[in-house]
Amino acid sequence: MPQKPDTSAVTAGRDDSRSLAPALWPSTVWETANMDDATARATGMRSETFYSRYANPTVTQFERAIATLEQAESALAFSSGMGAISSVVLALCSKGSHVVAQNNLYGATLSFLQGPCARFGIETTFVDPSVPGAFEAAVIPGRTALVVAETPSNPRLGITDLAELGRIKGPFSVVDSTLATPLGQRPLDFGVDLVLHSATKGLGGHNDALLGVVAGERDLIDAVWGYAVMHGAIASPHDALNGLRGIKTLAVRLNHQNVSTLRIARRLESHAAVERVWHPFLDSHPQTGLARGQMRLGGTMLSVELKGGIDACRKFLSALSLARVATSFGGPETLVCHPATSTHVGLSVEALAAMGVTDSLVRFSVGLEDPEDLCAEIEVALS
């Protein structure tokens, strides 16, 4: 029978062993029966019992779980979110290819496109995703190989129109949906070709699994796999096991964290020390209508512009204890960071300005603590 997303998070990714817990296959290599068997496994598509750079049974379970949650034909896991995006770009692009990307991507993705990709002869045109039609207008027919988007964006939580991306003909489209997770939105439902996650974040959910994953049509995922085997950014079965565990509790974690995040965001909007609060489901967000139309949940992250600039941010972060100063997100602990001096420190002044990353911006990843305890500490720290 059809299942709701919250149920699928519990049931997805199981094998035929009837074990309620997934099995860990730590082996890097399997014995073959003879030369012909070895050749068949070496030339087969994603052979699970050959060499773990090709595939691994535990990792395959994780991939199947993601494919189920995204309602995709297939998925492919990597050792990190950057392993996923770099493999996708390099699998689908070559020297002379053209990429269209939004200008407020995750900092490392932006650096990858501006650095190694440019060096390899892959040209990128950056567009403002809030401008209707900007992606399609930048596509060069016959040359643009890939359209890259991220929604919500990190850290200002801008929203990109998924339906607009899905209507673009010619290049493949890939959406980084890390902040939303598959329970928050499903870009493939809007006609997008590939959806990508840093599963290190909300999907893993416990700050103990370094993973990336991409999902989409089987033929396209297999094409990416053909390059990924050479690239070598392969997911560890140990991390895949932790990722599977995280997926099983994804729904209950997200439901609590989303309620807490919106509650804290609304409280902060009225605080005298706060200039502005960014969260997709706040009425003050300029794209809240679009966000509510394509997202099931608003997400576990919010960003705040503090009055007083970088000095105010430094004092605020120094006054926190329940909330931890750290750069990741999606875990059980509430984490706070100053993007301009941490997650986005390597970007140019121009790139930071285009993304809206100012010295006054503070990013929150809201965890599983009681929101009243968090609000109390935040209000004390702001004062």
Give the angle subtended at the CA of 46 by the CAs of 108 and 199, to the nearest 5°: 30
Peptide bond into 155 cis (omega under 30): yes
Q: Which residue in 14, 53, 263, 292 is the catalytic one? A: 53
Cα–chain-centroid distance for residue 202?
8
Identify which of 200, 154, 151, 201 has the alpha carbon closest to the alpha carbon of residue 176: 151
Residue 230, both tokens = 């050479």
> Taking the alpha carbons of 10, 62, 249, 215 in that order, is the dihedral positive or negative?
negative
Given this model, what pLDDT does residue 42 score?
92
Given this model, what pLDDT does residue 1 score?
79
* 157, 280 Cβ separation under 8 angstroms: yes
Identify which of 284, 278, 322 has the alpha carbon closest to the alpha carbon of residue 304: 278
Q: Which residue in 41, 46, 54, 106 is the catalytic one? A: 106
The one-digit pLDDT tens for each residue of the chain (383 residues) are: 789 999 999 999 988 889 999 999 999 999 999 999 999 999 999 999 999 999 999 999 999 999 999 999 999 999 999 999 999 999 999 999 999 999 999 989 999 999 999 999 999 999 999 999 999 999 999 999 999 999 999 999 999 999 999 999 999 999 999 999 999 999 999 999 999 999 999 999 999 999 999 999 999 999 999 999 999 999 999 999 999 999 999 999 999 999 999 999 999 999 999 999 999 999 999 999 999 999 999 999 999 999 999 999 999 999 999 999 999 999 999 999 999 999 898 888 888 888 889 999 999 999 999 999 999 999 999 99
- Whether 53 is catalytic is yes
Compute how many other C-beta atoms are within 10 angstroms of the C-beta atom of residue 35. 8
- Whether 201 is catalytic is yes
* 112, 85 Cβ separation under 8 angstroms: yes
Mark 322-333 as b/e (b = at least 16 C-beta within 10 Å): ebbeeebbbbeb
* 288, 281 Cβ separation under 8 angstroms: yes
Given this model, what pLDDT does residue 92 score?
98
Question: Could you tell me whether strands 335-337 and 361-365 are parallel, antiparallel, or unpaired per DSSP bridges?
Answer: antiparallel
- Please report where in the chains the tokens 């875990």 appear, as a residue: 331
Peptide bond into 5 cis (omega under 30): no
Q: Residues, the chain, total?
A: 383
Query: Can you tell me the distance from the alpha carbon of 371 to that of 197, in angstroms, rounded to the nearest whole number?
Result: 26
Query: Can you tell me the distance from the alpha carbon of 347 to that of 126, in angstroms, rounded to the nearest whole number?
Result: 15
* 149, 175 Cβ separation under 8 angstroms: yes
Given this model, what pLDDT does residue 95 score?
97
What is the biggest distance separating any 2 CA atoms in the chain, rounded to whole angstroms? 74
Q: Which residue in 161, 176, 239, 359 is the catalytic one? A: 176
pTM above 0.85, yes or no: yes
Q: Which residue in 41, 46, 186, 201 is the catalytic one? A: 201
- Whether 208 is catalytic is no
Output the DSSP codes for 231-282: H--BPPHHHHHHHHHHHHTHHHHHHHHHHHHHHHHHHHHT-TTEEEEE-TTS
Domains of the chain: 5-248 (3.40.640.10), 251-382 (3.90.1150.10)
Query: Can you tell me the distance from the alpha carbon of 214 to that of 212, in angstroms, rounded to the nearest whole number?
Result: 7
Given this model, what pLDDT does residue 354 score?
84
Identify which of 297, 243, 330, 331 has the alpha carbon closest to the alpha carbon of residue 6: 297
- Whether 311 is catalytic is no
* 63, 109 Cβ separation under 8 angstroms: no
Residue 145, both tokens = 């190989």
CB neighbour list of residue 345: distance below 8 Å, 6 or more residues apart: none
The conformation of residue 114, written as its DSSP 8-state character, comes to I
Q: Is 133 left (phi over 0), alpha (psi -120 to 50) or beta?
A: left
